[in-house]
Chains A and B, each alone.
Chain A
Amino acid sequence: MILKSKDLLGLKDLTTEEIEYILNTAKTMKLIVTSKNKKAPHLQGKSIITLFYENSTRTRLSFELAAKYMSASAANVSASSSSVSKGETLIDTGKTIDMMGTDVVIIRHPMSGAPHLLARNINASVINAGDGMNEHPTQALLDMFTIIEKKGSLKGLKVAIVGDIYHSRVARSNIWGMTKLGAEVCVSGPSTLLPPEIEKTGVKAFNTVQEALIDADVVMGLRIQLERQKKGLFPSIREYSRFFGLDEKRLKLAKEDALIMHPGPVNRGVELSSAVVDGDSSLINEQVQNGVAVRMALLYLLTRRDSNENVN
């Protein structure tokens, strides 16, 4: 099997089979991440560029290590957000990178659809490492990988995603991916932070966190950004935390063996209490480790397409 597109732009456009294939490949990759000798030859001779228009520590590092563990040459391009609307266009930057012999460009961008624009205009494969409010597919893949590792499958699991769904690309990618793999996804957050007509994507939306948490197998908190408060979307962090914060007491509504996740970085005491972050059910650290494995799998699968030359 081979991925249909030269790019990974989002989980909305992937088939269930493609998602499962990526996750299966990541299992093998995890053996490399957890071994003593982290050097595999899969990407020898390949060149990987990370092109980040937004700050990021973990995602960028995770991609960079994924490339290096598989012997690719990797380089970083940092573009400040302010250069997005002035200066060189995204297409021009992309073409420059393309002409230097790059095989995969990993892009993070504050505007939804930027990776799609790049992908249409360059020959290299493009991986979306987060675009605006649209998608963050590798985060969702690593979340699903982590859940499957613990639970065996997503089929029939109830997953509650709590927080700022409106602005969250992590939520959108997880909704597409998890519903495709058969999970029942519930979202909950202040009504000002739920996107319109979100239920049409196949999820249930709740304005009380309690409804979403009942009998959940997986609970995922999302980061709340303070700047949303200034825009009038919620009155205070204190009130947010009172109605939507996840603490041990509230999590008793979920199943006893419920898994706790968060894409990080966590605002301790806001989305999750410190006790929950550091508790036994928290998978936050596993998520980070699995992130490298999933990204290795993707880099491997996308660069393997070259031999077929059926780039569309």
Chain B
Amino acid sequence: MRTLIKGGHVVDSKSKVDDFLDILIEDGKIVEIGKGLEYVNGDIIYADGKYVLPGFVDAHCHLRDPGFEYKEDIETGTRSAAKGGFTSIACMPNTSPVIDNQAIVKYIINKAKQEGIVNVYPIGAISKGLKGDELSEIGELKFAGAVAVSDDGKPLKSSSLMKKALQYSSMFDITVISHCEDLELVDEGTMNEGYMSTILGLKGIPSAAEEIMVSRDLILAEYTKIPVHIAHVSTELSVDLIRHAKSRGVKVTCETCPHYFTLTEEACEGFNTMAKVNPPLRTKKDVQAIIEGLKDGTIDIIATDHAPHHSDEKNVEFAIAANGMVGFETALPLCITYLVKPGHLTIEQLVEKMCVNPSKILGLNKGYIEVGGSADLTILDIDEEFIVDIQKFSSKSKNSPFDGFKLQGTVYYTIVNGNVVVREKVLL
């Protein structure tokens, strides 16, 4: 099986390629890259006027499988990811049962092989049952195929356990992803603490709740000299703290999500539960700081934190509505519209943050376009405009605050291991 991609604008951060090139794919691998490649007898994709990029890698999503298949499962989740241009995704362990043992890791990998259409990499739990008491069998998780460990959704309350998690995980060379939140400061908070929480009469979550835990983890990373990855950074001070730690040589990486550089707490107006997410949407100055952090390299990764929820979990009182939003199908256009078009990031930098760096942190041999590399590619038109329609999402869930947004950037092709899974914008 051979496929030739002709005439696209190829950008690859690893090999520093930025040119109009043809790419020949055979048996799931890239076999030739060059100008004027000709090939008859096979699939030819004409990519004129479009970017041909390494397949996008999402370091943070929730597939809800096993246990919450009414929200999403591996089939629908990977279809949604493919539609959004992602070829590899790493799913968080807050499933039921929790991904804290080999069996669940293997279940996900096997199910993804059978029903998934993109590469799925499970993230194991740091602590058994995400309870924050004892370490899970991190070595076994790694050998079963987990690419990182995290208690995402919950902070590791105990600083002592966090220190041990870093030390123990480093033995297996597996990244610890930290969800930073001081639950006592969060208390009963449901949105960012500030003017909007005051006028809506909703209890607030102070930005300090995130920043205090970010500080703690940075200190532990510096103390142990072991890398830590901070999930979903949302505040100005978090960005500053991480920037400072990096300048001290701390091995810290971090991610943010599209909603943290596009929306503010004002999206909660009218008790809009679609804008309820954890960490909460912050303020204008935080949004600006996140963009700065992305520009100067403080923030390494843009992840989706794709968090599907059933409409019954959103169509309730704000205080009891579920946290989170689906993200696969809006991430790329949001990055194009809010980061690339205004000139904050180049396409090459975007590739770094959504292909190269996530692959590096998760230890995947992905995120680049080179002969011999796997044929995971995303072809997109960064100029094409469209209106977000949540009803058209391929995800099982439709919880997005971006419904009706006019965005630029359309995925034309998603190619996973040489297989075309999205062709001419249509999911196959």
B200 at the binding interface (Cβ < 8 Å): yes
Chain B residue contacts of A197, Cβ below 8 A: 194-195, 198
A229 at the binding interface (Cβ < 8 Å): no
A112-B318, A132-B202, A134-B201 are contacts. A117–B194 as well, Cβ < 8 Å?
no
Chain B residue contacts of A152, Cβ below 8 A: none
A200 at the binding interface (Cβ < 8 Å): yes
In the complex, the answer to whether B201 meets A131 with C-beta atoms within 8 Å is yes
Chain B residue contacts of A131, Cβ below 8 A: 201
CB neighbors of A among B182-208 (8 A): 193-195, 197-204
In the complex, the answer to whether B320 meets A85 with C-beta atoms within 8 Å is yes
CB neighbors of B among A88-116 (8 A): 89-91, 109, 111-114, 116
Over the window 187-225 of chain A, the binary record of Cβ atoms lying under 8 Å from chain B Cβ atoms (1 yes, 0 no) is 000000001111011000000000000000000000000
A172 to B270, CA, bound (A): 16
**Would you give the shortest CB distance from B314 to chain A, in whole angstroms?**
11
B110 at the binding interface (Cβ < 8 Å): no
Chain B residue contacts of A89, Cβ below 8 A: 312, 315-316
A116-B270, A116-B271, A133-B203 are contacts. A111–B198 as well, Cβ < 8 Å?
no
A169 at the binding interface (Cβ < 8 Å): yes
Which of A12, A133, A200 makes the CB contact (< 8 A) with B202?
Answer: A133
In the complex, the answer to whether B320 meets A84 with C-beta atoms within 8 Å is yes
A184 at the binding interface (Cβ < 8 Å): no
A91-B315, A116-B271 are contacts. A169–B320 as well, Cβ < 8 Å?
no
In the complex, the answer to whether A200 meets B317 with C-beta atoms within 8 Å is no
Chain B residue contacts of A91, Cβ below 8 A: 315-316
Q: How many A-B residue pairs have CB under 8 A?
A: 65
In the complex, the answer to whether B199 meets A196 with C-beta atoms within 8 Å is no
In the complex, the answer to whether A113 meets B194 with C-beta atoms within 8 Å is no
A38 to B195, CA, bound (A): 44
A164 at the binding interface (Cβ < 8 Å): no
A183 to B200, CA, bound (A): 22
**Would you give the shortest CB distance from A116 to chain B, in whole angstroms?**
5
In the complex, the answer to whether A114 meets B317 with C-beta atoms within 8 Å is yes
Count of chain A residues with a beta carbon within 8 Å of a chain B beta carbon: 26
A135 at the binding interface (Cβ < 8 Å): yes
A169 to B203, CA, bound (A): 12
In the complex, the answer to whether A112 meets B199 with C-beta atoms within 8 Å is no
Residue from the set B201, B203, B320 with the largest chain A CB neighbour count within 10 Å:
B201
A134 to B199, CA, bound (A): 7
Chain A residue contacts of B316, Cβ below 8 A: 89-91, 117
Task: Give B188's nearest chain A residue, CB to CB.
Answer: A231
Over the window 312-332 of chain B, the binary record of Cβ atoms lying under 8 Å from chain A Cβ atoms (1 yes, 0 no) is 100111111000000000000
Chain B residue contacts of A172, Cβ below 8 A: 199, 201
Chain B residue contacts of A134, Cβ below 8 A: 200-202
Residue from the set A85, A112, A116, A172 with the largest chain B CB neighbour count within 10 Å:
A112
CB neighbors of B among A112-148 (8 A): 112-114, 116-117, 131-135
In the complex, the answer to whether A132 meets B198 with C-beta atoms within 8 Å is no
**Would you give the shortest CB distance from A295 to chain B, in whole angstroms?**
21
Residue from the set B195, B200, B204 with the largest chain A CB neighbour count within 10 Å:
B200
In the complex, the answer to whether A169 meets B201 with C-beta atoms within 8 Å is yes
Residue from the set A90, A91, A197, A200 with the largest chain B CB neighbour count within 10 Å:
A197
Chain B residue contacts of A112, Cβ below 8 A: 200-202, 271, 318-319
Residue from the set B197, B199, B203, B315 with the largest chain A CB neighbour count within 10 Å:
B199
Chain B residue contacts of A135, Cβ below 8 A: 201
A136 to B99, CA, bound (A): 46
A197 to B320, CA, bound (A): 25
A112-B271, A113-B271, A196-B193 are contacts. A90–B198 as well, Cβ < 8 Å?
no
Which of A12, A111, A196, A201 makes the CB contact (< 8 A) with B319?
Answer: A111
A159 to B271, CA, bound (A): 29
Residue from the set B200, B317, B319 with the largest chain A CB neighbour count within 10 Å:
B317
Residue from the set A85, A91, A113, A133 with the largest chain B CB neighbour count within 10 Å:
A113
In the complex, the answer to whether B198 meets A195 with C-beta atoms within 8 Å is yes
Task: Give A173's nearest chain B residue, CB to CB.
Answer: B201
Binding site for B on A (CB under 8 A): 12, 84-85, 89-91, 109, 111-114, 116-117, 131-135, 169, 172, 195-198, 200-201
Mind listing 12 A-B residue pairs with CB under 8 Å? A12-B199, A89-B315, A89-B316, A112-B271, A112-B319, A117-B316, A134-B200, A134-B201, A134-B202, A169-B201, A196-B197, A201-B199
A91-B316, A131-B201, A134-B200 given; name 12 further pairs at CB < 8 Å. A12-B199, A89-B312, A111-B317, A117-B317, A132-B202, A132-B319, A133-B203, A135-B201, A172-B201, A196-B193, A196-B197, A197-B198
The 4 closest A-B pairs by CB, nearest first: A134-B201, A113-B271, A133-B201, A195-B198
